[in-house]
Amino acid sequence: MLIVRNLTLKIENKQLLLYIRSHITIITKNTIMKNLAKLFLGLLLSGIILTSCEDVSDLADVKFPVDYEAELDVTVTPSSSIKAINGVFSASEIIDPTSNSDYTKYLDKIKGVEITEFYAKILSIDPADITLTSTVVSVTNDNYNATWEFIDLPITVGTVVTLNNDNGQWDSIEQILMDKDPFTVSISGEADEENAEFVILFTCNSEVLAVAFN
């Protein structure tokens, strides 16, 4: 009889152990699931917060176009050199970047400038057409210099000369505009005429990124 009781006790103890183990497993699984859910929720909220911060930062910035023009009256005159057979010319104009009202409005909040286009156009010429045998165009301030060189450039009314970014010239102009100080646009060189006049219009188009709010 004692053996039967001991066997019964062992069976009951074994069932109790299995019951405890099963409940511990259930509790452990539930705990893991809850922790995973909390972790997922935390990551989700972090992503939302980071995205929201980026969106707010983007909303706090404003981008607007800023264009500058310089119209130069150029006179070709005989060279002082005895051996010269071409005329020479030189003209320049100073541009104040604060002459643009939008630029001035955000002057202390500007984050960056991007040049989108830079070109020159002949507005008038006398005689009707000439060739600039050698030409140098420059945009400079005290810290930066952008230069283009042309050889045998024929011009007439309506001629458009693209001033590209092949050698990083636009990068220099962007830095010039970021300096926020006046800069100089100039053209010089030689022509196949000793007496001529032409008007050339330089146009620089850009986009400025600034902080919209304090």
143: CATH: 2.60.120
With left for phi above 0 and alpha for psi between -120 and 50, is residue 194 left, alpha or beta?
Answer: alpha
Residue found by looking up tokens 């030409």 in the block = 135
Radius of gyration of the chain (CA): 38
Q: Tell me: the pLDDT tens digits for 158-182?
A: 999 999 999 999 999 999 999 999 9
Distance, CA of 182 to CA of 70 (rounded, Å): 13
Q: Is the dihedral of CA 208, 172, 54, 110 positive or negative?
A: negative
pLDDT tens-place string over residues 119-159: 999 999 999 899 999 999 999 999 999 999 999 999 999 99
Within this chain, do residues 37 and 98 fall inside the same structural domain, yes or no? no
- 8 Å CB contact between 103 and 207: no
Tokens standing for residue 165: 């970014």
Report the amino acid identity of residue 89: F
Q: What is the pLDDT of residues 69-124, one digit of tens each?
A: 999 999 999 987 656 678 999 999 999 999 999 899 999 999 999 999 999 999 99
Are residues 85 and 148 both part of a single domain? Answer: yes
Element (H, E) at 150: strand 145-156
The answer to whether 208 and 106 are in contact (CB under 8 A) is yes
Indicate if 42 and 82 belong to the same structural domain.
no
Print the domain residue range for 139.
63-211
User: From CA 175, how far away is CA 140, in angstroms rounded?
Assistant: 10
* Amino acid of residue 153: L
pTM for the whole structure: 0.71
Asked if 95 and 200 sit in the same domain, the reply is yes
Q: Are residues 143 and 194 in the same domain?
A: yes
What's the structural domain count of the chain?
A: 2
Same domain, 132 and 193: yes
DSSP letter string, 62-118: EEEEEEEEEEEEEEEEE-S-TT--SEEEEEEEEE-GGGSHHHHHTGGGEEEEEEEEE
Say yes or no: 29 and 74 in one domain. Answer: no
The confidence score (pLDDT) of residue 132 equals 97
Say whether both 166 and 108 belong to one domain: yes
Assess whether 3 and 84 both reside in one domain: no
Whole-number Å distance between alpha carbons of 120 and 69 = 9
Closest CA to 178 of 94, 89, 108, 95: 108
